Each structure stands twice: as structure tokens, then as C-alpha cells.
Amino acid sequence: MIKPAIIVITAGEPAGIGPDLIVSLAKESWQTEKLATQFVVITDPQIIHDRAAKLGVDIEFPVWQPKDKRPGIYHYPVKKITRVIPGSLDPENSPYVVETLRIAAQGCLEKTFHGMVTGPVHKGVINAAGINFTGHTEYLAQLSHTKQPVMMLATEKLRVALVTTHLPLKDVAQNITRTRLLSVLQVLQQDLRQVFDIPNPRIAVCGLNPHAGEDGHLGREEIDVIAPVLATLNQQGFNLTGPVSADTIFTEKRLFNPDSNFDVVLAMYHDQGLPVIKHAGFSKTVNITLGLPFIRTSVDHGTALDLAGRSKVDNNSLLLAMNMAAQMARKK
């Protein structure tokens, strides 16, 4: 029997759709060839059983035992603080949410787990609890002492990575520096080669400003920062195109032209790139954090508080994230 990869899953915000997604896994077949994997869900089992009862689903995930090598889905129990009401946020449960992330990441750092998949969290309620939290990417980078994580979303046909992640728009320009852009491109190049088996990644790099700055008339970041970094790295053997205007790079003709056929588009900020890929493949997209010392994938959507406990869950993004993490773990 093939030794299975062990992937840990965090269910995310307990009042949101995360528990519904976990319950939906009870309907999946875990004996298929596609999943020679153990999936270990870190959660309070009472949350899952309560949500399953509300949804009318019978569910039974055994407690994970490290000595058990059988593929399947298990749970790793962690107690919550207070009662969970679907759709109703409670800051008192935020320490529990962050603790599940900490346990999962620590297990990955200690090689107990081979990768992690994260369910959606609600940043606002975590901060309302007095916990400084800007997002999974930043939290996991801090916990693992990673200097430069890179957020990338991927569909079957398109990948989009980000230079900056969860920043107010007014702070983006000052964070587009030569040092940051150089580091992001080095991480992107390395992981596309090592994890995605792309020997010579073709990377399209967006400009920051409309029309990539229009020769400096609409901003100088392209001239002063982006172009010099691309020139330096291209001299080192990178295959970079840019800075290109974000309003044209995402067209079918530019992205999938045989002469370019880019492997990834690097956007300068969150809402420059992510709306495009989510429009192209919402619920068919996987969020991947590159540059960490462990594998991390995630769903491409938020907590969906209005859908929690209402039998309207679409678990496609979760299943894609789970499969992606398992595939990446086997390659590593």
C-alpha cells in the first residue's frame, strides 16, 4: 500500500460556511485512487455535528491517530469557546479560529503533516477580538518566519500571483519597491519550477498604473521600479514580459497566444488581478501560498455567512484545494 500524504484542513470561521464544507465531505468517496491521502480536519467536533444535524446529514469522522495509515478523512479535536450560531459572528470564537491555524501550521513545520488546506476566515471579527490578523498569507508567513510569501490563485488555464496582498489601496504604491518585486519574482520562479514542474516559467508582469504608466505621464513606478527589476532578472535567465497594462494582459489573445502563452500573470495588488481570475473560474480556483516552508492551499471564497446552515454549499473549490495540496505534497 502507498504511504498516504497527510493533509491538515482548518474549517475556518465557525459561523460561516466552513463547517458546511466539512459536512459535505461526508458525501464524498474517500476510497478512490485519486486520494491516497489522509485529510485531518482540525475543528471542534461539536461544531461539525451540530451543523450536520441542521443540514440533515449523517456524519462520522474518526479521531486521527498518527499510527493509522489508512487513507480517508479524520478529525483532530480542538474545543471552541462559546456557542456557534450559523450566520452570526462572535469575537469570542476568534481565538479558537486562530488556534486551529497555529496547530495546523506547527504540524506542517514539524513534518507531522505534509501540507495544509484552509477554510475561509472572517478577518474583521478576528480583529474585533483584539487579534492582529490581516490574512492567512501574512499569518502563516509570520509563524514560519518566511520573509516573502507569495499569494497565487490558479484555475486549470490561468494563474495570477500578487506582489502585495491585503493592503489598503492608498498604501500599495509605496510598497511596490525594487526589493519586494525582486523577492516575489524569485519565489515565483523557484516554486513554478520545483512544485509545478515548469522549467522556464513565462511570467507576465503588470504595471501599477493605468496603461502601465503611459511613459511616465500616469505614474513613474513602471520606469523607476518595475522595468529595472525585470531587466536585471531577464539578464539572469528569467523569462519576464512587462510591465504590461493590466487592462489588456488578461485578454484571451494576450494570455494564450502561442508566442507568449504565459504561465502566470503577476499583478501589483489584490484587486488588480483577483477579480479577473475569480470571474473566469469562481469555485474552480485554488488559492496557493508560495514561498512557505510547507504547502498551503485554500478555497477561493469567503465565509458566506448568509449561506451557513442552509444546504446551499458548493464544495468544488475545497475539493480542488485538497487535491492540489495532495498533489503538491507528493511532488515534494
CA distance 203 to 94: 38
pLDDT, position 109 = 97
Looking at residue 178, its amino acid is R
pLDDT, position 60 = 85
- How far is C-alpha 16 from the chain's CA centre? 18
Three cell numbers written together for 193 = 519550477
CA angle 264, 268, 269 (to 5 degrees): 110
CATH 3.40.718.10 domain locations along the chain: 1-146+292-332, 148-287
- Find, among 242, 204, 237, the residue nearest to 223 by Cα: 242
CA distance 52 to 50: 5
Largest alpha-carbon pair distance within the chain?
Answer: 63
- Find, among 214, 282, 285, 208, the residue nearest to 246 by Cα: 208
Tell me the β-bridge partners of 249: none
Q: Are 115 and 328 in contact (CB under 8 A)?
A: yes
Q: Are 249 and 206 in contact (CB under 8 A)?
A: yes
Rg (CA), the chain: 20
Domain 148-287 has CATH 2.60.40.10: no
Per-residue pLDDT of the chain (332 residues; tens, 9 = 90+): 456 789 999 999 999 999 999 999 887 765 444 458 899 999 999 999 999 999 999 888 899 998 888 888 999 999 877 789 999 999 999 999 999 999 999 999 999 999 999 999 999 999 999 999 999 999 999 999 999 999 999 998 899 999 999 899 999 999 999 999 999 999 999 999 998 999 999 999 999 999 999 999 999 999 999 999 999 999 999 999 999 999 999 887 787 776 668 999 999 999 999 999 988 877 789 999 999 999 999 998 899 999 999 877 889 999 999 999 998 988 76
pLDDT, position 326 = 92
pLDDT, position 127 = 97
The total number of residues shown for the chain amounts to 332
The pair phi, psi for residue 111, each rounded to 5°, is: 70, 15
- How far is C-alpha 197 from the chain's CA centre? 19
Three cell numbers written together for 173 = 504604491
Three cell numbers written together for 69 = 495509515
- Which top CATH class is 1-146+292-332? alpha beta
